[in-house]
Chain A
Amino acid sequence: MRTEFEEFALARTPQLYRSAWLLCGERHQAEDLVQETLAKVFVRWNRRFGAPIDNPAAYAQTALVRTFLSARRRRSSTELAYADVPERAGPDPAAASDLRLALVAALAGLAPLDRTVLVLRYLEDLSVGEVAERLGLSEGAVRNRSMRALQRTRPLLDASYATARKDLP
């Protein structure tokens, strides 16, 4: 029988993984990021003291982006994962799409914080104020970073958009 936390995690993990994949641009790192995030939420969920989490989905999303940013600040984050997670050897199905390749290339040119702002604003569809609160930035800083990220990625995203137009709703 699943615990309440496991039910929550099963429901939220697909969305967390989408954000993680865009932030990391790579499957293994995204999987690692999601598991680290779930571990943090698990500890908070089961702690003895204090009130329960008010909004677990928002808490998990915030934990994900903060974990990503913390890891990027550490020196080890410049290393690429390669053989440490061998359980699913083989080609990365996520890399099979030209759209994804273009997107990864566009996002890779951004600073981690700019990338995070972009993901929160346009994948998670959060307002400027919500992004500012989750990242500990001012709203002005979020707007600036969002605008800068869009400007830098626009050429690649425009090309990708043209390619992907047939897939868009």
Chain B
Amino acid sequence: MNDKTSSLLDVATRDLDPDIDALVAGGVARGRARRRRRTAGTALVAAAVAGIAGLGVVASLSGADGTHAEDLSVATSPGSSASVVRTNTAPRDLAMRAAGVPELFASIFPGEVAIIPGKENPMDGFDPRSQPLGGGPTDRKGEPGPGVIADFTWNGYYVRAAVAPSDPAFGDTAGERCRGEASSDTGCEDVAGGGALVSSTMVNPPVDGTTTVRFVKYYTPDLWTVTLMVSNGATSRDHVLTPQPPFTLAELTAAATSDAWFD
């Protein structure tokens, strides 16, 4: 029966005669249009980030940690152009390998990116599920595959960017996984479209250089996490360059919730 089925499908379709040139031309035209839309989308996020930057500077001058509520209200409102509305979909593919993370970051925040000495190997295959505190490797369908993580500098400031699967040990939705992982200090905020967000600003103790580190972790509806962490120093723990990190929580949130990380 199986051979018969194969033969039938083969015979029935063998002499189909589509206009191949027209199909390819149409596919290329649609592909170019898609690429233009993607480029425009990335530029929109960058523009939104730039627009928010002015507010961020004012807020950070008035007191670093007080910016939290105002920052997040911009990026997590339902109408925000940077929010991803995605429900019940298969996990997207990543738009880059780990080595491409700094360059993608620089496409959102134009600036000079460089690998940090001693951390020359951005990691592909990053999977917190396989770490000791993770939920263990999962073969459940519908879960994202391994992700990427990279440490680098942006205009001299330390940045860590990671896109990784969220941990199925905490539940089936982005919100459950966010609340499962979040500490009581940071809490977890639902984002329009089914995602969830954790963010914080932390001042390290003197032994760790008194650096200020801003951190955003976005749990996407398709069960990825996008983590962005930026310090006001050349590393996370020393060489303070300015009183505050170069990006506000709102800017990091806009970047983390953008589609730029995914195909």
Binding site for B on A (CB under 8 A): 5-6, 9-10, 13-14, 17-18, 21-22, 27, 30-31, 34-44, 46-51, 66, 87-88, 93-94, 97, 99-100, 103, 118-119, 122-123, 125, 136-138, 150, 153-154, 157-158, 160-161, 164, 167-169
Known contacts: A42-B28, A122-B6. The answer to whether A99 contacts B20 by CB under 8 A is no
Chain A residues with Cβ under 8 A from B142's Cβ?
A: 136
Chain B residues with Cβ under 8 A from A39's Cβ?
A: 27-28, 30-31, 33-34
Closest B residue to A51 by CB, please name it: B97
A122 touches B5 (CB 8 A): yes
- The one of B4, B24, B31, B94 that contacts A13, using a Cβ cutoff of 8 Å: B24
Tell me how far the C-beta of A40 lies from the nearest C-beta in chain B, rounded to whole angstroms.
7
A40 touches B5 (CB 8 A): no
- The one of B7, B23, B28 that contacts A17, using a Cβ cutoff of 8 Å: B23
Chain A residues with Cβ under 8 A from B34's Cβ?
A: 39-40, 42-43
B96 at the interface (CB under 8 A from A): yes
Number of interface residues of B (CB under 8 A): 44
B16 touches A18 (CB 8 A): yes
B208 at the interface (CB under 8 A from A): no
B9 touches A164 (CB 8 A): no
B24 touches A118 (CB 8 A): no
State the CA gap A9–B24 with chains docked (Å): 6
A31 touches B23 (CB 8 A): yes
Chain B residues with Cβ under 8 A from A138's Cβ?
A: 141
Known contacts: A34-B23, A50-B100, A103-B8. The answer to whether A93 contacts B31 by CB under 8 A is no
Q: Sort A-B residue pairs by CB-CB distance and give the 10 closest, nearest first.
A: A38-B27, A42-B31, A39-B30, A49-B96, A49-B100, A18-B13, A39-B31, A35-B26, A50-B96, A123-B9
State the CA gap A5–B30 with chains docked (Å): 14
Known contacts: A34-B23, A42-B32. The answer to whether A49 contacts B104 by CB under 8 A is yes
Known contacts: A18-B13, A49-B103. The answer to whether A40 contacts B31 by CB under 8 A is yes
B94 touches A50 (CB 8 A): yes
B62 at the interface (CB under 8 A from A): no
B95 at the interface (CB under 8 A from A): yes
